[in-house]
Amino acid sequence: MPAWHSQRRHAVAIAVLCVLGGQSSMPARAQASGTAGALERVEITAEKRLTLLDKTPSAISALSGARLAESGVTGLADVVTLVPNMSFTTGYGASQLFIRGIGNVFFTAGGDPGVALYTDGAYISDQTSSNASLFDVQRVEVLRGPQGALYGRNATGGAMNLISALPTQPFKAQFGALLGQYGRSDIEGFVSGGLGFANTRARLSYQLKRLDGYMVNQLAGVRSGPVLPGGIDTVGPARLDDLDSRALRLQTLTDLGGAGTLRLIASSYRQDEAGPGNKQLVDPVTIPILLYNARPVADPRATKSQGASNGVDVNAFQVVYERPLGDATLSVVASHRKSDADMFWDGDATEALMATTRFKTGSRDRSVNVHVASGEGALQWLVGATWLQFDQRQDIQVDAQIPLGFLVPGQPVNVPFPGGVRFLLGGKVDTRSSAVYADVRYALSKQFALLAGLRSSRDTKEAREYQTVAAFGLNGTGTPSARWSSTPGSLGFEVTLARDTMAYGRLSRGFKSGAINLGALQGTAVKPETVNSAELGFKTSFLERRGALAAAVFSSKYRDMQVSQVGLASAILANASAAKINGMELELSMRPTSALTLSAALGLMDPEYTNFVNVDLRNAPGVAVDVSGRQLAQVSRQQASVGAEWAQAVGDMRALFRADYAWRGTYYFTEFNTPDARQAAYGTLNLSVVLRPRQGAWKAYAQLLNAGNTTAITSMNIASPVLGASRQVNYTPPRRVAVGASIDF
């Protein structure tokens, strides 16, 4: 069957599922809606003020932290499957979130994400340490589409905010434990209550996670010398894709009088294990084959690793201050975050001493955001200012044996270059950003309101970089710098069509800062990325609030879109002249009976480059390829999720059964859309059951994740031709079972 017929068939099938299903956004903070069996009304703070999800004129998903945990959602990669037109990948440990086709395409220092990630209102700049575990989360809010006015320079795709559960005045505590396959053991909980002085309450949350790993190492315990003199002696780990992490969060919340509050948040995260199972895909001819007749393992759940390690250390402190100013409210969020990441792996995944790679990254992230929001009324306004200082250092070392014929024309390709090749590159990049912004809603009548937002930003980046390749006679340094000003914003309207039905429209302009390819010695910074987007949306409740529908259509045009390219020893950023993304989204919730809740989400996009010529260094070096009209890298044209939740009484117990199926259409890892960098469409099914007594403080639950044991590539990084243009990939976790229990005190 032709490919386009297959894609159309999938799209039709997904649309039918959405009609039968309901909204994937698991209820976050909810209010009773007054009708028996009705869906909860969800309160959110996505627009920096408290609003109801179904009354907010924007495409937003809100996910309940408790439901995420019960369903087996433990990280960002799991969250995104529940949000339309959102996806996640990773590059050498860096998180790469995508919304509506736009995201973080850069995993080395000097660039910025296209999806702004926040935790309790504080921006996270360092993507190499942002995928910490989710624990004791109240809710997750995802805003889709450019958010330049409220969220700033790096939200061309959207924004995501992770919101922690708050301290309570009455004493509460919870202890939970979960055991599963592959040596999985999770322990987490919290203690919360008043301290008995100064109107202060506190909450201490903790999490310990262990996992032996999904990928078996055929070189486990084997000692290996360094690839090059002065390198690292290694021992093969037993497994990869393992995990050993510890997380702690301490919060205090103090009532200051006059309805003012002060919230202090201190958190710490540690991770120390072998790390991701960086697999090398089998190619007909590779450097290990040419030099040593060594081949990687074809089995996606096995590898040959002579050594690997992954350490992440994050410490953060936040201050959140709020107080009324007449009818308005003042909010201040200040944050200091320090992170260190050290990742080392066998670069060729064979028994040969051929290649090793090490990334060391350290950063300090400081920011302050102040805004004042008006109260209710015909004119609602919000004005604010923000300041950010982000200092990051990164050092990359790649040790490799390279065929002599790769570097000296006419020489044999089965003889290594004498002494091998060591690539050293990196340095330090300092980012400064400041902005003032405003957001206004003016109601012309009870049914119609105008919307507007504007931000004026100023960004600077200064770097001190180096690149040393002794074998090539390279030993360079540089001090590139750049400065950008921007005025992203939006104009729109909202109209109330009926009591429970609204529509909205919005024209938005987004801005993503330029970048410095740290260690590439390019001299000239990568251009900023800009987007102009139009969106029409519709939200309604029906069947006496037993059903809810949110729909949106959008069209976005990008100029100087930032894309990741193959470099000498690591990826670098470049600009695609132009791209466009047209799409639609549906989120539907239904509760046909008090015992059954159905959920579904659908995302359809047409993400294409419209003006981009580049060279495919893996397949056709030296040949310019016009990729205009081809699908954007890393994103699918179709995504969908459907779910069902059934509550059933079992004697004195209450059981909750849940099934979630997430499907993703074909996607490519490069702009060339070649078969060797492609993942076909696939889906995963997760099942869970929760058992609670009708009167009691405990619960037990079980999870069956990836029930169909689907194996799909979730990330791919292609090495430079000098290093053989090999493809390094990561896979979806296999099918796994876990059981757990928790008790409340």
Options 2.40.170.20, 3.10.620.30, 2.60.40.10, 3.30.457.10; which CATH number does 3-744 get?
2.40.170.20
Supply the DSSP symbol for 364: E
Q: For a pLDDT cut of 90, what percent of the chain falls above it?
A: 74
DSSP run (H or E) holding 440: strand 421-443
Strand ranges in 58-171 using DSSP code E only, listed in sequence order: 60-64, 86-91, 94-99, 102-103, 115-119, 122-123, 137-144, 158-164
Say which range, 233-237, 466-470, 650-654, has the weakest mean pLDDT. 650-654
3-state secondary structure of 127: helix
Residue 569, pLDDT score:
65
Domain ranges of the chain: 3-744
Dist. CA 337–CA 513, nearest whole Å: 21
Q: How large is the C-alpha radius of gyration of the chain?
A: 26
Burial status of residue 650 (CB atoms within 10 A of its CB: 0-12, 13-18, 19 or more): exposed
Sign of CA dihedral 559, 560, 562, 566: positive
Please write the tens of the pLDDT for every residue from 295-319.
Answer: 999 999 999 999 999 999 999 999 9
- Say what percent of the chain tops pLDDT 70: 94
The answer to whether the CB of 336 falls within 8 A of the CB of 319 is: no
pLDDT score recorded for residue 723 = 86
Among the residue ranges 9-13, 80-84, 288-292, 494-498, the one predicted with the least confidence is 9-13
Asked whether residue 32 carries a pLDDT value surpassing 60, the answer given is no
Q: Tell me what pLDDT residue 23 has.
A: 39
pLDDT at 313 (0 to 100):
95
CB 572 within 8 A of CB 562: no
Q: Is the pLDDT of residue 424 over 80?
A: yes
Degrees to nearest 5, angle at CA 186 with 180 and 190: 145
What pLDDT digit, counting tens, does each position of 368-389 carry?
Answer: 999 999 999 999 999 999 999 9
pLDDT tens-place string over residues 470-522: 999 999 999 999 999 999 999 999 999 998 999 999 999 999 999 998 998 88
What is the rounded distance in angstroms from the CA atom of residue 393 to the CA atom of residue 477? 15
Is pLDDT at 4 greater than 50 in this prediction? no
Residue 19: the pLDDT is 34
Q: Place 30 in a pLDDT band, splitting at 50, 70 and 90.
A: very low
81-90, 469-478, 626-635, 680-689: segment of lowest average pLDDT: 81-90
Average pLDDT of the chain to the nearest whole number: 90
Alpha helices in 657-730 (DSSP H): none
- Residue 650 pLDDT level (bands cut at 50, 70, 90): confident
183-192, 516-525, 723-732: which is most confident: 183-192
**What's the rounded mean pLDDT across residues 613-640?**
92
Label residue 29 by pLDDT band (50, 70, 90): very low
Confidence of residue 220 (pLDDT cuts 50, 70, 90): very high
Strand pairing category for 115-119 and 215-217: unpaired
Rounded to whole angstroms, the Cα distance separating 520 from 167 reads: 47
Asked if 424 and 399 touch (Cβ cutoff 8 Å), the reply is no
The average pLDDT across 711-739 equals 92
- Beta-strand ranges (E) seen in 274-378 are 279-280, 302-303, 308-325, 328-346, 355-373
Position 568 scores a pLDDT of 67
**When comparing pLDDT for 569 and 227, which is higher?**
227
User: 306: which 2 tokens?
Assistant: 């002579």
Sequence letter at residue 542? F
Q: Which of 60-69, 123-132, 542-551 has the lowest mean pLDDT?
A: 123-132
Residue 118 tokens, joined = 């926040």
